[in-house]
Amino acid sequence: MNGYRSTFWIAAALLVACQGFAVAQSSGRAGVGKSITAADLENPGIRSKVLVEAIKWSDLMRSGDGLYYHRKTKTLFAGWVKYSWGFRDDGRGLMRFEKGKKHGLLVSWYDNGRKALEDYYVEGRLMSSACWKPNGEKCPLTKVVNGDGVKIIYEMNGRKQCQGAYVGGLAHGLWTMWPDDGSTRQVGHYKQGKEDGVWRYYNRFGKITHSETWKDGEFIEE
């Protein structure tokens, strides 16, 4: 997966369609649990406790079954994960997992401390989403309700990082993504949470630099 795609995974908080595979054991930690609300996370004391409990994003691994496992124990993960822009593991974002799937809150903040994103997942599917610009203005276009709607994510500099639609809690339809400096553009389609069809990369002059063909989330060719 190239750099552009890696950037998108960061911004869009891991757009995946989790499968219904299960194993007998889950890995997690007791303590600050799934009852934590978005309002709770705005409390510095509570957020600090969650950050202490949360594992790093780099401690997770995604298997071919679409589920997330603890890298050391090799068991399905349940608990909090901390990440950031670039997934630097410094806690600018927190997401909750249950049985290897995103389940519950995903909240992230800009470097200036303002909230950037507040998502709610149910068994790996995005049910609701609200996004804010770095200046604190709520994005008027982002609205995901009961798994359907449009989502836009912004960079710290105020530029869009990605924009696309969800259907049934999964990315579906046309998505457009931009790197940090906004110089290039990536355009393609998702089908029920998986890349599908031709994805094109454009330079700052609008010229296609290369393209990739995907089928049901599997890379086919450039």
- How many domains does the chain fold into? 1
Q: Is residue 29 a part of any domain in this protein?
A: no
Within the chain, which residues score under 50 in pLDDT?
1-31, 87
Q: Which domain holds residue 137?
A: 3-11+34-221
pLDDT for res 85: 59
pLDDT for res 34: 63
Q: Is residue 24 a part of any domain in this protein?
A: no
Q: Is residue 21 a part of any domain in this protein?
A: no
Q: Is residue 25 a part of any domain in this protein?
A: no
pLDDT for res 184: 76
Q: Is residue 17 a part of any domain in this protein?
A: no
pLDDT for res 33: 59
Q: Is residue 166 a part of any domain in this protein?
A: yes
pTM: 0.79
For the four alpha carbons of 61, 64, 68 and 70, in that order, the dihedral sign comes to negative
pLDDT for res 28: 42
pLDDT for res 9: 38
pLDDT for res 25: 29
Q: Is residue 102 a part of any domain in this protein?
A: yes
Separation of alpha carbons 119 and 171, rounded Å: 14
Q: Could you give the C-alpha distances from 57 to 5, 109, 201, in angstroms and in order? A: 17, 16, 27
For the four alpha carbons of 88, 68, 187 and 198, in that order, the dihedral sign comes to positive
The tens digit of pLDDT for each residue in 148-204 reads 999 999 988 888 989 999 999 999 999 999 877 667 789 999 999 889 999 999 988
pLDDT for res 21: 24
Q: Is residue 140 a part of any domain in this protein?
A: yes
Which tokens in the block code for residue 104? 């519950």
pLDDT for res 64: 76
Separation of alpha carbons 215 and 198, rounded Å: 9
